[in-house]
A and B are shown apart, each in its own frame.
Chain A
C-alpha cells in the first residue's frame, strides 16, 4: 500500500556500555549481502541535504522578455524555414546514425519538430514588418501572446513546438 515507516536504531554512545560498539554495528550493516530483497546501502553517512533548487516560475513570457529585433527580418524567416527543410532532408541519415548508436528515432523526432514548425503560419510582427514565420504549433493559441517585435518571442514559440510536437530526449532538451 502507499505509505512508509520510519525506524531509528540508536547507536551506543560509548564503548563502556554492554553489547557491541557503534563501529561494530555499522560494520555489520555495511557488510555485503546476497539477500536479493535487501537494498544496496552506501555504507557512509548521508551528506547534508542540499537546499532545494529555486523554483522556476513561468513568468518570463514573450511579453516580458527582452525584445530583440532581427536585423534582417526576412532573413530570419528564411533561416527558420531553411533549417526545417534541411532537417526534413537529413532525417534518413540522422535516423540511420541513431539506429547504430541509440534507439533509432532521432531523425524522425527532429523531423516531427521541423514539420510541426511549418505546419502553421503565424504572423510575428518585427518592427514595422510583418514577418511570416513558419513556426508552429500552438501558433494560433499563442498568437495573441506573441506581441512581436522580438526574436525572443519567436524562439520561445519554437521551443514550445519542440515541447509539444517532438518526443524523445530531443523534445525535452530543445524546449
Chain B
C-alpha cells in the first residue's frame, strides 16, 4: 500500500475508474494463486461471509468513501462473497 511513501505494489496512471480499481484490488486480495498472498480461502461459492473494512487514508471525502463502500459491496456480491458487516472510516492514515 505504501503508507510511508513506499512505492506500493504497483502504480497506475491515469487513475482508473472506481469500478475497475476495485476489481484490481479484489483480484489482489482474493487471488488464490500466490502462496504469499492467497491465504484467505475465499471460494466464491456463495457461502463465503466476510466483514469488509474500507479504510480512508485520510484525504477521501465522506461522499467518495460511501461510493467506494458501495462499489466494493457490489463487486464482492458479484464474486459470490456476502458482506455481513461494513466498517468504513478513517482508521489508518498516512
Q: Enumerate chain A interface residues (CB-CB to B < 8 A).
A: 1-11, 13, 22, 25-26, 29-30, 37-39, 41-46, 48-49
Contacts and interface: CB of A to CB of B under 8 A. Distances in A.
A49 B90 CA distance: 22
Interface string B22-65: 10011001100000000011100001111111111111100001
A13 B48 CA distance: 7
A113 to B, nearest CB: 28
B46 to A, nearest CB: 12
Q: Secondary structure of the A side of the interface?
A: loop
Closest 4 CB pairs of A and B: A39-B89, A2-B59, A3-B57, A7-B53
Contacts of A9: 50-51, 53
A44 B87 CA distance: 11
Interface of B: 1, 22, 25-26, 29-30, 40-42, 47-60, 65, 68-70, 72-74, 77, 81-94
Contacts, number: 101
B88 A39 contact: yes
Given A8-B50, A9-B53, A39-B88, A45 B94 contact: no
A1 B59 CA distance: 5
B55 A41 contact: no
A10 B80 CA distance: 13
A61 to B, nearest CB: 29
B51 A26 contact: yes
Contact of A22 (B49, B72, B77): B49
Given A6-B22, A45-B82, 13 more contacts: A3-B57, A4-B55, A4-B68, A6-B29, A6-B72, A7-B53, A8-B29, A10-B49, A11-B49, A25-B51, A38-B91, A41-B86, A48-B77
A94 B48 CA distance: 58
Contacts of B55: 4-7
Contact of A46 (B49, B59, B83): B83
A1 B92 CA distance: 11
A42 B73 CA distance: 15
27 contacts: A1-B57, A1-B93, A2-B57, A3-B57, A3-B59, A3-B60, A3-B94, A4-B55, A4-B56, A4-B60, A6-B22, A6-B29, A6-B54, A6-B72, A7-B55, A10-B41, A10-B50, A11-B49, A11-B50, A26-B84, A38-B89, A39-B91, A41-B85, A41-B87, A46-B69, A48-B77, A49-B73
